[in-house]
Amino acid sequence: MTAPKIATDPAGLLSARVESDPSRPFVTFYDDARNERVELSARVFDNWVAKTANFLVDGLGAQPGDKVVLALPEHWQTLVWLVASWSAGLHVHLDGPGKVEGPYLLAVAEEDLADVDDSEADEVIGLSLHALGGPMADVPPGVTDYAVEVRAHGDRFRPERSYADDPLLTVTKATYSGAELVTEARTSAARWALDARDRLLVHVPLTTHPGVLITLLAPLASGSSVIIQRNFDKASLDRRLTLEHVTAVAGVPAGTAAPNAGSGPVRRLD
């Protein structure tokens, strides 16, 4: 029997998750303003990551070390862009385009296109953030519609190498290598006692280091499932805790989380 590979960067964490547990839900997404719910298994999530990484490399000509600025909210596509960028060896910046010395690729939500400074961007990619990945309603000149372009790319992507020693994430003026992200993912998963039985409901901005850690990296490392929310409606929380069999919460306002979700106590991770 071949021993499983030990992940050395975030792409390796996803590969291990797909190999060990491809079909169980990995990401569940709610947009309470749009009344949307989307659920992705590790295999489906990996397919989106592969298509996006191929789009970045083959469609936009991105090379390892290139900068990517993500101006995106809490959304399943934001998680896809993070892992896809890291799979291609790209350096993700979350502090906003005004904090990055160009050139860079800029991925931005359609609704925020008019408010984002893209003057130093080599390419601007607009995301509609439709629940099932639909196209933008209106594509301004010079903007690439992610939903239209990504579907033409293959759903398999093999990283050129491990990016353990490469800078992969800069947020709040701190930069992390691939290996550091994996170490933090494993350490946090152990500290929070997360495992494959957990269903983690998160309401933490993905523009922060804690947000990336608790929403994406720790669930990948631990085998747990994550539920993310946009336009969070507090009135829906108790029902969501029960329907989604939530075992842990992070970022949910104190006093709003029910003591249990019908299957046992819900623990707070923040």
- Is 183 among the domain residues? yes
The pLDDT score that the predictor gives to residue 4 is 52
CB count within 10 Å of CB 212 equals: 26
Note down the domain range covering 225. 10-268
- Is 1 among the domain residues? no
The pLDDT score that the predictor gives to residue 221 is 96
pTM: 0.95
- Is 103 among the domain residues? yes
| Spatial CB neighbours of 29, under 8 Å, sequence gap ≥ 6 | 36, 37, 38, 39, 40, 75, 76, 131, 227, 228, 229, 230
Quick one: tokens of 256? 């709003």
- Is 2 among the domain residues? no
If we measure between CA atoms, which residue out of 13, 3, 1, 4 comes closest to residue 184?
13
**CATH for 92:** 3.40.50.12780
| Spatial CB neighbours of 75, under 8 Å, sequence gap ≥ 6 | 29, 31, 129, 206, 228, 230
Grouped pLDDT means (10 residues each) for the chain, 270 residues: 70 96 96 94 98 98 97 96 98 91 93 91 95 88 96 95 97 96 97 96 95 98 96 92 96 64 75
- Is 264 among the domain residues? yes
**What are the tens digits of pLDDT across the range 42-97?**
999 999 999 999 999 999 999 999 999 999 999 999 999 999 999 999 999 999 88
- Is 3 among the domain residues? no
- Is 130 among the domain residues? yes
Number of domains in the chain: 1
| Spatial CB neighbours of 15, under 8 Å, sequence gap ≥ 6 | 5, 7, 46
